[in-house]
Amino acid sequence: MESFFSKLYLDMQSRIKEAVPEIEWIEQDFGQDVFDEWAPNVAFPAVLIDFPSTVYSEIGNVNQSAEATVALRLLFAPFSQSYEDAPLEVREDALQFFEMENKLVNALQGWVPDGGYCQPLLRRAAASFNNNKTGLRVRNLQFITACLEIFEQPEALQQTITMKII
């Protein structure tokens, strides 16, 4: 694969699968958590990956540096109760999504894919999204990374043009 995003997506899938084997499903984010009939679309717990925004800056000629946002949605089927009078084992089971989120963050924070084609991933935000119709427990994680985009230039663009002011 030549595309930065394709390579990063595949490398992230491998990293997550290796570091957090409890994750049952790793896929691109197509909004699977908002489907009314979500059961056939994913296995839980799941991680959905997207690259929602990238900011580019010129670094000379037509080459660019890029700062990319990597969005992860961690999806869990509804867990048991966590209210204060529930047995401790039940409450601990209900909070396993926090433990898995922690494991996922530890796997990706500072991680650089093999080949070093981008900067280490750095977490920028974490938020819950639990008011969905499906009743899923959803955690949104946001990381950033950066890379260089070096473009091959046609000979016509490589020539220097000088202007003489008269």
Matching residue, tokens 């799941």 = 46
Q: How many residues does the chain have?
A: 166
Q: How many structural domains is the chain composed of?
A: 1
pLDDT of residue 83: 72
Residues with Cβ < 8 Å from 45, sequence gap 6 or more?
Answer: 22, 23, 24, 25, 74, 75, 76, 77, 97, 100
166 domain residue, yes or no:
no
Tell me the sheet residues that pair with 147.
Answer: 66
For residue 100, give the H/E element and its range: helix 96-108
112 domain residue, yes or no:
yes
Q: Where are the alpha helices (DSSP H) in 46-95?
A: 88-94
pLDDT beyond 80 at 160: no
Backbone φ/ψ region at 115: left (φ over 0), alpha (ψ -120 to 50), beta: left
163 domain residue, yes or no:
no
Residues with Cβ < 8 Å from 120, sequence gap 6 or more?
Answer: 109, 110, 111, 112, 145
127 domain residue, yes or no:
yes
pLDDT beyond 80 at 39: no
E-strand stretches of 10-160: 25-28, 46-60, 63-76, 122-128, 137-149
> What is the domain extent for residue 20?
4-158
Which of 60-69, 90-99, 152-161: highest mean pLDDT? Answer: 60-69
Q: What percent of the chain has pLDDT over 70?
A: 85
Confidence bin at 35 (pLDDT 50/70/90): low
- Give the residue with greater pLDDT, 18 vs 86: 18
153 domain residue, yes or no:
yes
pLDDT of residue 130: 74
Residue environment code for 142-156, b if the CB has 16+ CB neighbours within 10 A, otherwise e: bbbbebeeeeeeeee
pLDDT of residue 79: 67
Backbone CA torsion sign across 85, 86, 92, 96 = negative
80 domain residue, yes or no:
yes
Query: Residue 147 sits in a domain of what CATH number?
Result: 3.30.2000.10
- CA atoms of 118 and 123, how far apart (whole Å): 15
